Amino acid sequence: MTNTATNMRLKLPLTCFILEVIMIILFGVLVQYDAETDPKKWHLEKNHSGHHDYENDFYFRYPSFQDVHVMIFVGFGFLMTFLQRYGFGSVAFNLLISAFALQWATIMQGFFHFMRGGKISIGIESMINADFCTGSVLISFGAVLGKTSPVQLLFMALFEVTLFAINEFILLTVLGAKDAGGSMTIHTFGAYFGLMVARALYRPNLDKSKERNSSVYHSDMFAMIGTLYLWMFWPSFNSAITAHGDDQQRTAMNTYYSLAACTLSTFAMSSLTAHDGKLDMVHIQNAALAGGVAAGTAGEMMLTPAGSMIVGFLAGIISVLGFKYLSPILEEKLKIQDTCGVHNLHGMPGVLGAIVGAVTAAVATKEVYGEGLADVFPDVASGKFTASAQGVRQAISLAVTLGMALVGGLVVGFILKVPICGAPADTTCFEDNIYWEVPGEEPSQENQLTGVKMEESEKLNS
Amino acid sequence: MTNTATNMRLKLPLTCFILEVIMIILFGVLVQYDAETDPKKWHLEKNHSGHHDYENDFYFRYPSFQDVHVMIFVGFGFLMTFLQRYGFGSVAFNLLISAFALQWATIMQGFFHFMRGGKISIGIESMINADFCTGSVLISFGAVLGKTSPVQLLFMALFEVTLFAINEFILLTVLGAKDAGGSMTIHTFGAYFGLMVARALYRPNLDKSKERNSSVYHSDMFAMIGTLYLWMFWPSFNSAITAHGDDQQRTAMNTYYSLAACTLSTFAMSSLTAHDGKLDMVHIQNAALAGGVAAGTAGEMMLTPAGSMIVGFLAGIISVLGFKYLSPILEEKLKIQDTCGVHNLHGMPGVLGAIVGAVTAAVATKEVYGEGLADVFPDVASGKFTASAQGVRQAISLAVTLGMALVGGLVVGFILKVPICGAPADTTCFEDNIYWEVPGEEPSQENQLTGVKMEESEKLNS
Amino acid sequence: MTNTATNMRLKLPLTCFILEVIMIILFGVLVQYDAETDPKKWHLEKNHSGHHDYENDFYFRYPSFQDVHVMIFVGFGFLMTFLQRYGFGSVAFNLLISAFALQWATIMQGFFHFMRGGKISIGIESMINADFCTGSVLISFGAVLGKTSPVQLLFMALFEVTLFAINEFILLTVLGAKDAGGSMTIHTFGAYFGLMVARALYRPNLDKSKERNSSVYHSDMFAMIGTLYLWMFWPSFNSAITAHGDDQQRTAMNTYYSLAACTLSTFAMSSLTAHDGKLDMVHIQNAALAGGVAAGTAGEMMLTPAGSMIVGFLAGIISVLGFKYLSPILEEKLKIQDTCGVHNLHGMPGVLGAIVGAVTAAVATKEVYGEGLADVFPDVASGKFTASAQGVRQAISLAVTLGMALVGGLVVGFILKVPICGAPADTTCFEDNIYWEVPGEEPSQENQLTGVKMEESEKLNS
């Protein structure tokens, strides 16, 4: 009764085992605790440099890390459960590819950023960065949700993490751009990469599964769990790796107000674009988050609360319009079937965030930032760049990211077309039954004890 | 097919856009980063006053803030999803009015508390306070849940936040009362305000919607998500803005034990008041939280763990009795239709908390609090008031709060009766369909691939 | 219509009231705030010893405490909601017994660990320890889920907490073992204790309820909420009470990578052991967590990230194999009906964790740990034990734990057989209807307004 093409019995275990064994070997050879995680080194710091335990980076960043972690696993995982018959795949493949991606990201980002003397030193900051990179993969997952096998997803993660780390290295190290909340590195990259993968995997006959490519009442409720955790913890996401002190606080605050304003414009646009004024859960679940995406680059800068609100306000409008008018065009004209609408939540708001970041950087002055300028724009503070040059570099970074994502996504998409990967047929997309043992939808009536039945059965039993 | 009265197509977008534009203008003119959020000021503090980054208030309060944030959006939002056909409205209108209320609260509370030189300085503490004020609006939302349009709710938030800020100013600044966890300012105020709004909006024919004014199995499960997050994070709620050090720890601990004791008395009373001893989910979802409400004022004081448990124990009993016996009377005699029973969860336990706070304050001594007296009761420590006078002021604060809430709620309720607000008809209360595009309840049988059908369809496809 | 045997109307209220009154009296007589929670003492510390508020243990541990708290109430609570008709019992009895157990654990652990001058001093660390002990009771609850009354569960908690505290005292104080994340004290103890209780409560005719002893689609989704919160916050669980600084960071990191590796091996094994390669939600919900259990003892040691990944990898394999092949044997041959499969998630991985801990301890050297050795192995650093002796003591601790759990569980299980406890009949296991007022499963069709009906009803109403 099972189709051999989608039978994962050998493919998935083999892929998982091989990937995990490679990870363990790479970690064994390359990875070590950093100076704040290693007992010998940290105690030397304490004894010889007069540091105290409360200065350990763990206490500055662990609460933010845990919030980011919740966004990755519950936020993204449940946001994608809106499909009526793909809840298992959404939340559990999300777990699978994240668990792999965070390990591989530790290696790849470590290779570029944290390599010292042939060793990758890891700590709480690298854990946050690994989760960030994972977030990018999950955005791409959103574009191909329900149309891919777990093996395809693991391979997508393998390639995407690699390209993510290269792009991030070019932006942050080569170009000296700032992107603490990842409008460019995470959202723009993940969205356009995923859209190109979806383009490569275009299915002309996907309407054979169209009756399952929608929500039911309860699946929309589950999806709201994801939405709310993303919404609530986005201030932690954007501030997780900014400099200690005012920077973390300012970034969290800017994101908080950006999201609040975005929520109002999302509700307004959702109602305005419906012929009967009825709100659409798709917009609330997604567009209300665009304010977090759009504050990703400039959140740590002197965007001001009012500036953040303007950004969020625009992001909500753009995002709803995208869902309503642009997504159908993308599918018809560009043959991009974007299951979750990641172009509207992460793509366009990510580009908006990158532009806002470039502009805000270009107008930065020592007068406004004071000594804090060195935390936000070290190259401007040191006189290496002017503020305008920083703005230009931010803009170049956006272009590089778009190029890397578009080309990379297309190439990876074609790689994933290899038939051996076990993709579902056009008639069985958006269906958990293919890869999962699925129990019934509801308890059968006979399983539910009614008062009368219960009495009888207890009589028999006692 | 849509009733024009409840069509939100112009009303809701217009309301959202106008309110948000006003917010942006007010923020632009009035609001600035405080000294720990502004890069220039914070770095001056660090360089000139020898402060370190770990002394930034962000690290003392951000974890508590995020817990409070979860309570507001997931806690309140999901607690109200118990209605069988109002899940979208519960969780998403909760998001909408919170997103507005937190912005408006920043302005109003800032106006009274954080105004310096014509500017409102904001930081992590003002963000917590804004969330607190939002919580009060959500309590009122609970009383009118399912019977109001989103436009009515936004206007309710507009007025309630204003009155909240005035009442809070009278209590904390004019009267010098202490109410860190808001038994009075948040719970008592929000509950009685909401009850009066519900009184003004009384619907004699609400029984036309009574078949939807109840839960189903799954909606009760969703509601438990809300309950648990409120229960778990209440220690953070009550301790979020207490003084650093022992105060935050003591408040969290008192609330922890108060809730534990409350849970046992809630289960006991729920079973005891049922003729067949069966537990009622409404009690567990709500009354088990009353211990957090009742520890709101005295949580930071020397209530002792045992004292906290006694308070929680009583709160659980009162709350279950209220649900069982008082709510029907409120509806029949006083014409107050309290959808969520906020009188039982927030009203009576809030009053209990205020009384406990007054008594605990009145017996405070330097001997017990030591130097810590200045943190909890600065006016007593400085000799401005005696402890008894502090107790009296606490009691007066309760009276003021009740007065403000009752009168304010009634007036606002009558304002909300303006027909243009688009309230649902008596026959369409507790129904998402009015304001939402609602998908089907369950996937149709034909959408679910069975093994056999799948095999066939894959054959055709391959 | 209700069976008198399972009627809780007197039994449950009486049990709750008596237990809670005893708790309040014990707290009143024995418990006091510790030196960081008491205002007088903390301010003396600040003034006389030069401490600062940021050195208060609250700021080192409260975020971890809240994560642990979420694991206990949402993690365990929702993980058990996988049963189709036992969602209320799972999540709400979980709340009830936890609320009691954390109070009783405060007393019992305080008696052994925190007693000073006839008083038990409590603070944030004792709150974490109380939650830990509660976790052990919840593991046992998983073994007997659906087959016990709330009164039985409260009595089980009463006895189990007592034995837990004794076992913990023997391990940590008498034997000087290390077990920060509780592979032995929490997981091994809780699992084998629960299995023995299940053995004592063996029901030969349980197959009369077998149609309800399984999941439906939505109940599996609810269970994944529990799984994800356990998965995400396990790093906080294992690091919550380790020493400040590098120790907390290292433990969190080791657990993070152990879980990631465990997830890949879980997916691999779940697919490999299914004849059609289809993944089983039971494995994902449970086995993917085994990496956290297995890193409980050695997480704070120099396990290295690669070492942690190997441990997690093995734990996932063992756990899936246990669910697939061992659980049926346990039921048939040993008459242990383990509802949630706690033997596979907590039992075997706990034993694995204990062994890994013993081996890692035995090879500890001053060269690797530097001055940090005193934090992890104070007795080795002080020269009281050699590292090998520490390893031996760890191994003895595992044996003691197994002995205490097996004997204790069996005795307590027989005590719980007293008929007065109100256990459900064999035909009514796994059924909320026995102890709960249960609403219908889905809104009846007539409750759902269709467009046409709505129009009509609104016409009538307007």
Residue C69 has pLDDT above 70, yes or no: yes
> For residue A74, which residues of chain C lie inside 8 Å, CB to CB?
225, 228-229, 232
- Residues B272/B324, Cβ–Cβ less than 8 Å: no
What pLDDT, on the 0 to 100 scale, is given for residue A459? 44
C228 in a structural domain? yes
Residue A148 has pLDDT above 90, yes or no: yes
What pLDDT, on the 0 to 100 scale, is given for residue A443? 64
What pLDDT, on the 0 to 100 scale, is given for residue A98? 98
Collapse the DSSP code of B385 into the 3-class scheme (helix H, G, I; strand E, B; otherwise coil) and give the result: coil
Residue B117 or A335, more confident: A335
Average pLDDT over residues C109-136: 92
CB within 8 Å: B313 and C218: no
Q: What is the pLDDT of residues A362-404, one digit of tens each?
A: 999 999 999 999 999 999 999 999 999 999 999 999 999 999 9
Q: What is the pLDDT of residues B221-259, one digit of tens each?
A: 999 999 999 999 999 999 999 999 999 999 999 999 999
- DSSP assignment letter at A424: P
Q: What is the pLDDT of residues B30-70, one digit of tens each?
A: 999 999 999 999 999 999 888 999 999 999 999 999 999 99
State percent of chain A over pLDDT 70: 94
Residue B311's closest CA among B297, B291, B287? B291
Give the residue from chain C lying closest to B375, CA to CA: C39
> For residue C9, which residues of chain B lie inside 8 Å, CB to CB?
271-272, 274-277
What is the number of H-type helices and E-type strands within chain B? 22, 3
Structure confidence at residue C244 as a pLDDT band (50, 70, 90): very high
DSSP β-bridge partners for residue A119? A116
Q: Name the residue range of residue C105's domain.
A: 16-423
Structure confidence at residue B114 as a pLDDT band (50, 70, 90): low
DSSP A43-79: HHHHHHH---GGGSHHHHHHHHHHHHHHIIIIIHHHH
What pLDDT, on the 0 to 100 scale, is given for residue C115? 73
- Residues A97/A141, Cβ–Cβ less than 8 Å: yes
Among A42-56, A417-431, B106-120, which stretch is predicted with the lowest mean pLDDT? B106-120
What pLDDT, on the 0 to 100 scale, is given for residue C4? 75
CB within 8 Å: B457 and A369: no
CB within 8 Å: C448 and B425: no
DSSP β-bridge partners for residue A32? A121
- Rounded to whole angstroms, the Cα distance separating A220 from A451 reads 32
A115-116 and B31-33 as β-strands: parallel, antiparallel, unpaired? unpaired
- Rounded to whole angstroms, the Cα distance separating B369 from B245 reads 14
Average pLDDT over residues A131-159: 98
- Residues A33/C224, Cβ–Cβ less than 8 Å: no
- Residues A322/A336, Cβ–Cβ less than 8 Å: no
Tokens matching residue B445: 């049988």
Residue A457 has pLDDT above 90, yes or no: no
Among A367-371, C4-8, C82-86, which stretch is predicted with the lowest mean pLDDT? C4-8
CATH value at residue C334 = 1.10.3430.10
What pLDDT, on the 0 to 100 scale, is given for residue A1? 39
A459 in a structural domain? no
What pLDDT, on the 0 to 100 scale, is given for residue A179? 98
Residue A163 or C48, more confident: A163
Structure confidence at residue A118 as a pLDDT band (50, 70, 90): confident
What pLDDT, on the 0 to 100 scale, is given for residue C421? 92
B32 in a structural domain? no
What pLDDT, on the 0 to 100 scale, is given for residue C409? 98
Residue B275 or C337, more confident: C337
What pLDDT, on the 0 to 100 scale, is given for residue A116? 73
What pLDDT, on the 0 to 100 scale, is given for residue B339? 97
B1 in a structural domain? no
What pLDDT, on the 0 to 100 scale, is given for residue C458? 44
Could you give the ipTM of this predicted complex?
0.95
Structure confidence at residue C440 as a pLDDT band (50, 70, 90): confident
Average pLDDT over residues B87-104: 98
What pLDDT, on the 0 to 100 scale, is given for residue B460? 43
Average pLDDT over residues B88-100: 98
- Residues B49/B187, Cβ–Cβ less than 8 Å: no
Average pLDDT over residues A263-284: 97
C148 in a structural domain? yes
Find chains touching chain B: ≥3 CB pairs under 8 Å: A, C
C190 in a structural domain? yes
State percent of chain B over pLDDT 90: 91
What pLDDT, on the 0 to 100 scale, is given for residue B457? 44
Residue A86's closest CA among B146, C93, B23, C221? C221
Residue A445 has pLDDT above 90, yes or no: no
State percent of chain C over pLDDT 70: 94
Number of neighbours of residue C433 by Cβ within 10 angstroms = 22
What pLDDT, on the 0 to 100 scale, is given for residue C116? 73
CB within 8 Å: C95 and B247: no
CB within 8 Å: C16 and B247: no
C31-33 and C119-122 as β-strands: parallel, antiparallel, unpaired? parallel
Average model confidence (pLDDT) across chain A = 94
CB within 8 Å: C59 and A57: no
Q: What is the pLDDT of residues A162-199, one digit of tens each?
A: 999 999 999 999 999 999 999 999 999 999 999 999 99
B178 in a structural domain? yes
Residue B446 has pLDDT above 60, yes or no: no
Q: How far is A1 from chain B, CA to nearest CA, in Å?
A: 6
For A230, B23, B443, C20, C98, the CA distances from A234, given in Å and listed in that order, are: 6, 21, 33, 40, 31
Question: How many domains would you assign to chain B?
Answer: 1
Residue C138 has pLDDT above 50, yes or no: yes
B235 in a structural domain? yes
Average model confidence (pLDDT) across chain C = 94
Structure confidence at residue B83 as a pLDDT band (50, 70, 90): very high
CB within 8 Å: A99 and C368: no
Average pLDDT over residues C66-94: 98
Average model confidence (pLDDT) across chain B = 94
Inter-axis angle of helices A94-109 and A124-144, nearest 10: 130
What pLDDT, on the 0 to 100 scale, is given for residue A256? 98
Structure confidence at residue A3 as a pLDDT band (50, 70, 90): low
Q: What are phi and psi of A136, to 5 degrees?
A: -60, -40
Average pLDDT over residues C13-34: 98
Q: How far is B60 from chain C, CA to nearest CA, in Å?
A: 7
* Residue of C56, C208, C217 for testing the chain A interface, max A β-carbons within 10 Å: C217
What pLDDT, on the 0 to 100 scale, is given for residue A4? 75
Residue C177 has pLDDT above 90, yes or no: yes
* Residue of B70, B85, B279 for testing the chain C interface, max C β-carbons within 10 Å: B279
